[in-house]
Structure 1
């Protein structure tokens, strides 16, 4: 055993950013991605799909390896002489825009709210910078590939093309307000003011003062202030307003020139196509995602006559196709329930365990180690790999996190990893990271109230699910549930449950945070389609709930027993937490009227003009949030930085922090400087290597991490 190497193996798995694989070149050589890559499917099937000549959406939750697949695909494309490929990290670009003062100046039209004006220019700056980044990467990659040597020069010199590309970049970055944008910004301002006045009047008449952004009065600015970004987004919920807004923004960009220059590069150099990889696309808000598709992706995809192909990484359930025809693109999912779907759950689990085994063996071998040397031999290595799949849902980053905990608990002391230590690692990650992270964000994050409410409802929903599971276990034990089917089953596993498919959307946030995972689509005992979900192993350990299902052929359909159908319990939860509300007259309707309101395309039955939507009932939680002090509030990314410094308990470079929290090192550098100014981080340059490092202060530990 080599504890230091094991630590590096765990570290290589738990880092987010693909660029940080450079940190491991000393151990595994320069081609880190090629060496470490293990395809989720045999025969490199996922990689082959991404390398196809079609536009491809690669879907998977955070940490499932989308960036690694893209890096490996780019490595293959660089070996070809007839394809040029570039990579755009959408989230990093967005973070950089958010962190800098890209918006300046004052709107001249007094009928446009300054907050809406600023939100519009910030959004337009991001979209323009995205297009400028594409052109910049094309120019840089063309130079690296020496494409001028292939230039045929039928239309113009290569130098003229580069000059045109540079001019377009400059134009895209120079954000200006076009006259055609004024009417729609005036319309958005009018809608915001009307809605804010209605919301303020309605809530004050009920005895609760609520601000324009939907926040309790002592949480945000009052109505006399300017519109926020979330206010701007609410105005775009109206499809007519959104379509008008996206159309005028699209027309303000020189798309004809951009497409023309790209096509000319491809044709004059005799290339087959340009392939653009867009990573972390789903990290954008839903409004930003829609605009990004409609203003950047769709025109590139639909107007290039096959010259441009897109590869887009996103989250399941958070992908908007817009004018990109879903039937003409490939969609590949990295979540195990989609990758290994089979008629029997045991076949799916076998395929998932095989990937966990291949990934671990390959990763250990890359570092010159044998995986068998680190796992206790009281059970087979295959059983350890099965447990690793169960505790992580086959998410490489989660594997790295649990192995890091095992390093601290076992390997660093010269002890091998046991099944019990893996289960303990999952529980520790749940209790020490996931639960506390939820609580910390709701207490201290400076963010819209809706974000806090969503997180609060996630916590309440997972409590409902665990309570229902324990109720079922009690019924099985007493013999009042399940009849003779469970006879002879001691401590019955209750970690999996089924719901009707239409409820799946309710679990998207819980899935994104790995508290639940979609396990399988099947049919219940009445032949109706249902979806099987599984609790995160660490959650089930913390709640003392047995995970999985009993062994034996008679239990192959264990999940679909009627007692595991939680649909009624979920509906009851939703009836207490959600309602249907009109955005204009604010009339509320019970959830059981959803089918009839949906039939009339969500038009309000009361006022006929308004648009209805499902909203969360926030009164109890709003009062709880209003009691929190804003004096300690920080941006969520700043809380993430403090959490990383607290958890690692050591001085860290910006690049090391960024690898753990999935933002750019430039953003970390700016935010640690701010945190240093307010006494939450100690930041200094070390004489030993001249690099700047940050360390959390006692004040930050006491304020944000004290019991």
Structure 2
């Protein structure tokens, strides 16, 4: 291989790492996405389905290609004069709202400080989304009219822009919104005041209530708090009911129906029949913010616009809220391996996934290098098809992970004029796991999450260890012939997959979302009961010297449901020992077993004896002690922690663009964050002698977050 060949391979794999970004351009700045796009299914089925005139949820874990599909949707819609695509990065808008919201003093007498901040952040977020939508419309029109030369159209364009600007000013004018907002907030406060006597009567049964009402020198003094939950059964509003009240405030102050009509009026002259709003990173905002956003903006805009507004929404599995959107009237497109390919022939799931891996890699390598994939892989012992299968297994079909694994192989082999072999890919899988996946628990430790949230996540670290210990024990018993029968091969002790009843899946969502484990398939076990089959991350298997997969051949078809791989007892024992589910009424204090959870879910976690609330509490003294060792001043927001961990993993100075590409943020955002981490925390050293600035960790950060 000459230098050009190596450089071209580097460009190919780096483009895969950037699979979901817009910067796939050639040396002349021309966008390459249309040429390089590889659909998860043949004949671009996913793209075609996404382009249908329906509200669509693209559901998949990070790196599965949601943003890339969005970019292709935009490209296709711009070819049609009747459609107006508008892209909004929900996470970026929400993060801006958290730092840029305006403190409205006129609300301080009605809301306690914590509730007021939450209210203002969500208010600012909704305000920003509507404003951003109008900015996007304006930008599209600037492009639209750029090619229209006649005076009539230019006059029309000017009028449209004036209408859009007026509508945007109306949304952003806090003084105008204030006139609507104050009476509604007053009404809520008044209703809370009237319920105060009931709350006091029931306080002994429900615990402390943070509801302050009365008459002060300022007049009516009614504070509403989000902090406590109250019993619905006793007629006292709980947190969700208060937030529902605030959702109604947002609905009224932004006058969503009027907004829709005014936007339609603006666009009517240009014969636009549909606005398609693409909401990226939708699941990366707070749970309550997701619910408010859907209830206040997304559902009304979708349901009330008479097909005029359609949404394309990028979401994580199990992080979706539909609100009043009828799931039966929307398209849900799953992008993760099992959820996608199980819709078709189950016995050909791997075949379909490997086909995508092959098409993806071949298209990139051929485009950038002009060569075949086999020119870069050692095919003396393994065929190129076997490499595609291995890359699928190490990545679970995620384009971003494929890019990283091949990038690591480039660093270990290609730059030394050597071809990639099987062990190189396996070592790359382990490095990816250690660099990008394993730090999740460390990040959680230093995050600003609540203690209970941290404990719930860090307990999963212990469960993961139990998985690997159990699989290691199974491997030992296979190699020592303790497990007999034709299913087990002493020289090939495969131990990477396990099964359990589907009802337990919800407890493992966090591990799956972060790629520690992945759902592989569903089968009937030896007793004829349906079970979910999961696998551990390939890199985790390599790290623990475990063989990933199962023996070849039809006689091993049911290998994953052999009794040693039944993890039901392990998971149930873990849940029983890590959580205590009990009634909060001290006079009752009834405890519930794991098997009783479905009944509790049916009764909305109400005690069957005294009708009080039932809660689950983590039992984790060791984790609590671990967290107590960390001072509050050392805790950081998620993005700040991610920046520090990225710099730690690279162990060298990085510029903002390099960090931004890894974290899916803008370079400007990284620069601002690093400035604060330097000036306020002393954790980042900014090297200002170079242009652009480079960043590295200070000794304080290295010692604190090692």
Distance 1:57 1:26 in 2: 34
**Corresponding residue of 1:659:** 661
CA distance in 2, matches of 1:692, 1:477: 55
How far apart, in 2, do the equivalents of 1:357 and 1:580 lie? 48
Q: Provide the rounded CA distance (Å) in 2 between the counterparts of 1:241 and 1:392.
A: 44
In structure 1, C-alpha distance between the alignment counterparts of 2:617 and 2:664, rounded to whole Å: 30
Match of 1:298 in 2: 299
Whole-angstrom CA distance in 1 between matches of 2:525 and 2:625: 41
Following superposition of structure 1 onto structure 2, how do residues 519-530 of structure 1 map, counting pairs within 5 Å? 519-530=520-531
Shift of 1:138: 1.2
1:675 aligns with 2:677: yes
| 1:104 to partner: Cα distance | 1.8
Residue pair 1:230, 1:448 contacting (<8 A) in 2 also: no
Which stretch shows the higher mean deviation, 428-437 or 295-304? 428-437
Say whether residues 1:143 and 2:127 are aligned partners. Answer: no
Structure-2 residue corresponding to 1:349: 350
1:425 match: 428
Could you tell me which of 185, 195, 199 is aligned with 1:181?
A: 185
* Maintained 8 Å contact 1:55/1:309: yes
> Comparing 243-252 with 383-392, which one deviates more in the overlay?
243-252
Cα distance between partner residues in 1 of 2:41 and 2:8? 27
Question: Conserved in 2, the CA contact under 8 Å of 1:50 and 1:56?
Answer: yes
Q: Does 1:380 align with 2:380?
A: no
Distance in 2 of aligned mates of 1:355 and 1:663: 27
Indicate the residue corresponding to 2:406 in structure 1. Answer: 403
1-structure distance, mates of 2:351, 2:655: 40
Deviation at 1:107, TM superposition (A): 5.3
The whole-number CA distance in structure 2 between the counterparts of 1:297 and 1:623 is 42
- Residue 80 (structure 2) pairs with residue 76 (structure 1): no
CA contact (8 A) 1:17 1:659 kept: no
Matched, 1:512 2:516: no
What secondary structure, in the 3-state scheme, does the structure 2 residue paired with 1:520 have?
A: strand
Equivalent of residue 449 in structure 2, options 447, 450, 464? 447
Task: State the distance in 2 between where 1:335 and 1:236 align.
Answer: 39
Question: What is residue 601 of structure 2 aligned with on the other side?
Answer: 598
Q: For residues 647 and 479 of structure 1, what CA distance do their matches in structure 2 show?
A: 41
Shift of 1:319: 0.9
1:628 to 605, 627, 630: 630
Alignment correspondent of 1:365: 366
Question: 643-652 or 232-241, which moves further after superposition?
Answer: 232-241
User: In structure 1, what is the equivalent of residue 90 of structure 2?
Assistant: 90
Partner of 2:323: 322
Q: 1:287 to 1:237 in 2, by over 3 A?
A: farther
SS in 2 for 1:145: helix
Distance 1:259-1:355 versus aligned 2 partners, 3 A rule:
same
Residue in structure 1 matched with residue 53 of structure 2 by the alignment: 53
Residues 1:150 and 1:669: Cα distance change in structure 2 (over 3 Å): same
Q: Is the 8 A contact 1:282 1:314 kept in 2?
A: yes
Deviates more, 1:578-587 or 1:370-379: 578-587
Alpha-carbon distance, 1:11 to partner: 2.3
Question: Secondary structure in 2 aligned to 1:318?
Answer: coil
Post-superposition shift, 1:228? Answer: 10
| CA deviations over 1:613-671 (Å, ceiling 9, x no partner) | 44433444222211223443332211211222333344433233112112233321211
- Rounded Cα–Cα distance in structure 1 between residues aligned with 2:238 and 2:644: 34
Q: Which residue of structure 2 lines up, in the alignment, with residue 37 of structure 1?
A: 37
Native 8 Å contact 2:141 2:157 kept in 1: no
Any idea what SS the aligned residue of 1:521 has?
strand
Which residue pairs with 2:543 in the alignment? 542
Q: Normalising to structure 1: TM-score of the pair?
A: 0.87
Q: Secondary structure in 2 aligned to 1:312? A: strand
2:66 alignment counterpart = 66
CA distance in 1, matches of 2:295, 2:669: 27
Asked if the contact 1:236–1:242 (Cα under 8 Å) also holds between the matched residues in 2, the reply is no
Asked if the contact 1:11/1:400 (under 8 Å) is kept, the reply is yes
Aligned match of 2:501: 500
**Is the contact made by 1:16 and 1:662 (CA closer than 8 Å) also made in structure 2?**
no
| Closer, same or farther: CA 660–228 of 1 in aligned 2, 3 Å | farther
Secondary structure at the residue paired with 2:400?
helix
Secondary structure of 1:86's aligned partner: strand
Change (3 A) 1:199 1:489: farther
Give 1:587 deviation, angstroms: 4.2
Matches within 5 A, 1:263-278: 263-278=264-279
Aligned counterparts of 1:568 and 1:173: Cα–Cα separation in 2? 56
| Cα 1:62–1:188 shift into 2, 3 Å | farther
CA deviation after TM superposition for structure 1 residue 89, in Å: 0.8
Does residue 394 in structure 1 map to residue 397 in structure 2?
yes
* 8 Å Cα contact 2:16/2:403 also seen in 1: yes
**Equivalent residues of 1:150, 1:270 under 8 A apart:** no
> How far off its partner does 1:132 sit?
1.2
Q: What per-residue deviation string (whole Å, max 9, x for no partner) do you get for residues 493-524 of structure 1?
A: 12111111111111211111101001112222
Q: Structure 1 pair 10/185, CA: closer, same or farther in 2 (3 Å)?
A: farther
698 and 412 in structure 1: CA distance in 2 versus 1, 3 angstrom threshold? farther
Q: Contact (CA 8 Å) 1:7, 1:407: kept in 2 or not?
A: yes
Check whether the contact 1:680–1:700 (CA below 8 A) recurs between aligned residues: yes
Give the equivalent residue in structure 1 for 2:22.
Answer: 19
Answering whether residue 244 of structure 2 is matched by residue 243 of structure 1, we say yes
- Name the counterpart of 1:256: 257
Q: How has the CA–CA distance of structure 1 residues 369 and 187 changed in structure 2, closer, same or farther, with 3 Å as cutoff?
A: farther
Deviation for aligned residue 1:133: 0.8
TM-score by length of 2: 0.87
Count, aligned residues? 670
- Of 280-289 and 234-243, the range deviating more from structure 2: 234-243
Contact 2:581 2:615 in 1 (8 A): yes
Distance 1:165 1:323, change over 3 A: same
Q: Deviations over 1:302-322 (max 9, x none)?
A: 011111111111011111111
* RMSD (CA atoms): 3.4
Deviation at 1:426, TM superposition (A): 1.1
Partner of 1:616 in structure 2? 618
Deviation at 1:153, TM superposition (A): 10
C-alpha deviation, 1:198, in angstroms:
9.5
Cα deviation digits, residues 467-514 of structure 1 (max 9, x gap)? 222333344455555x52435443421211111111111121111110
SS in 1 for 2:438: helix
Secondary structure of the corresponding residue to residue 320 of structure 1: coil
Distance 1:495 1:351 in 2: 21
CA contact (8 A) 1:246 1:295 kept: yes
Distance 2:389 2:441 in 1: 29
- Larger mean CA deviation between 248-257 and 263-272 belongs to 263-272
